[in-house]
Amino acid sequence: MTKIVPLELTLAIIKPHVIKNNFALKQIREIILKNDFQIVRNNRISITRKSAEDFYAEHSRKFFYQRLVTFMSSGPSDVYILTREEAIVKWRELLGPTKVYKTIISHPESIRGRFGISDTRNAAHGSDSPETAEKEIKFFFPDFDIKRWFQDDEVQFRIRKTVFNDEKFLHEISS
């Protein structure tokens, strides 16, 4: 008897300096697809300063907070809901460590090792736990009902009854 392993959701943010670099953005999107992720939702947004402050509130007392908020509100970011088995761990493995200067040496093939510029401009963000993923998904996709997705759509994504729409960079359930 085969055990059914449910998919997991995670939030990914592709940061403003990457969006300005079409080559880097294309490379990161290829990494996402080559690593068996499906894109459940995709949105390009300009994060307001207030939203950046709210999203990164847990870091408000840290020395880098103002620099991070300023950077994240400096231009458009791509925000994705990604799914696959063990999505959170896999996405964070692909990202590599946060500290870019160390990551360039220790994980040069990671997303941050290849496309990160500094600890703030480290190319991308990924949720660190299922609880954080749920909170972050609700923050950026308030109309997305996670429970309903697991009830209605998860099995369709799990059995790959989806079609990839390259133009939208999104997987859609096939009819």
CB atoms within 10 A of CB 62: 11
Confidence at residue 106, expressed as pLDDT on a 0 to 100 scale: 97
Catalytic residue among 17, 107, 125, 171: 125
Confidence at residue 1, expressed as pLDDT on a 0 to 100 scale: 67
Confidence at residue 150, expressed as pLDDT on a 0 to 100 scale: 97
Class in CATH terms, 8-173: alpha beta
Confidence at residue 2, expressed as pLDDT on a 0 to 100 scale: 74
Q: Which regions in the chain score pLDDT beneath 50?
A: none
Long-range Cβ contacts of 30-35 (<8 Å, 24+ apart): 31/94, 31/111, 32/80, 32/82, 33/164, 35/84, 35/90, 35/94
122 is in an annotated binding site: yes
- Bridge partner list, 162: 173
115 is in an annotated binding site: no
For the residues of 80-97, what is the DSSP string, one character each?
A: EEEEETTHHHHHHHHH--
Are 12 and 91 in contact, with CB atoms under 8 Å apart?
yes
10 is in an annotated binding site: no
Q: What is the pTM of this model?
A: 0.95
98 is in an annotated binding site: yes
The DSSP 8-state label assigned to residue 164 in this structure reads E
Q: Where are the domains of the chain?
A: 8-173
User: Would residue 17 show up in a list of annotated catalytic residues for this protein?
Assistant: no
Q: Identify the helix (H) or strand (E) that includes residue 43.
A: strand 38-46
62 is in an annotated binding site: no
